[in-house]
């Protein structure tokens, strides 16, 4: 079976909005800009792990040192061709976090039993522990490569959280 991948299609209207929002940040007065912070904390939208996500970032000593972004699937939302509007939102929000707060790294937290992965992979979704870890790691490596290409000085940490809130570093 041949699978073709199309680049996400962004309308002129959406592109113009994203470009203007990103460019507009540079025109903010210096006093309107916030202090430098450490990271962009990037999670899934899943309601089951919102509090665990905050506790996790606190455990990394990032309390009040991170901007927060949540998209369905976290890393998957940033790079999957199944979610082109999420892809665009990730890059636009990252640019804003860099421009406003000079973030030094992105801390990505995917989680197990993720509905977005089920949507994107369908019958190829890996529900077995090791296979699921490998599937998340592959997506995270794709995001890592794209981040490194676009922002070579920006660090990254990649974690996979269980539904009990325990997280393991994947990359």
pLDDT digits 0-9 by tens, 118-170: 999 999 999 999 999 999 999 999 999 999 999 999 999 999 999 999 999 99
What average pLDDT does the segment 106-122 reach? 98
pLDDT of residue 29: 52
65 vs 15 pLDDT, higher one: 65
Q: Which fold has domain 34-169?
A: Beta-carbonic Anhydrase; Chain A (3.40.1050)
Which residue matches tokens 């981040």?
A: 147
pLDDT of residue 35: 83
| Comparison of pLDDT for 96 and 5, the residue scoring more | 96
pLDDT in tens, 33-80: 558 999 999 999 999 999 999 999 999 999 999 999 999 999 999 999
Rg for the chain, CA atoms, rounded = 16
Decide if pLDDT at 28 tops 60: no
Q: What is the pLDDT of residue 117?
A: 98
Sheet holding 39-43, edge to edge: 66-70, 39-43, 105-111, 155-161, 167-169
If you average pLDDT over residues 94-108, what whole number do you get? 98
């Amino acid at each position: 079976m041949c699978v073709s991948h199309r680049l996400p299609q962004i309308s002129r209207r959406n592109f113009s909005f994203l470009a203007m929002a990103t460019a507009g940040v540079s025109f903010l007065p210096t006093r309107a800009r916030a202090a430098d912070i450490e990271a962009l904390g990037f999670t899934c939208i899943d309601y089951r792990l919102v509090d665990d996500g905050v506790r996790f970032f606190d455990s990394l000593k990032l309390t009040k040192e991170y901007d927060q972004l949540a998209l369905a699937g976290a890393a998957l939302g940033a790079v999957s061709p199944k979610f082109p509007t999420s892809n665009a939102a990730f890059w636009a929000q990252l640019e804003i976090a860099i421009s406003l707060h000079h973030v030094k790294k992105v801390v990505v937290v995917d989680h197990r039993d993720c509905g977005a992965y089920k949507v994107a992979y369908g019958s190829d979704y890996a529900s077995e522990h090791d296979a699921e870890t490998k599937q998340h790691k592959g997506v995270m490596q794709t995001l890592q490569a794209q981040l490194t290409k676009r922002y070579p000085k920006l660090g990254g940490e990649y974690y996979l959280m269980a539904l009990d809130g325990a997280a393991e570093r994947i990359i």
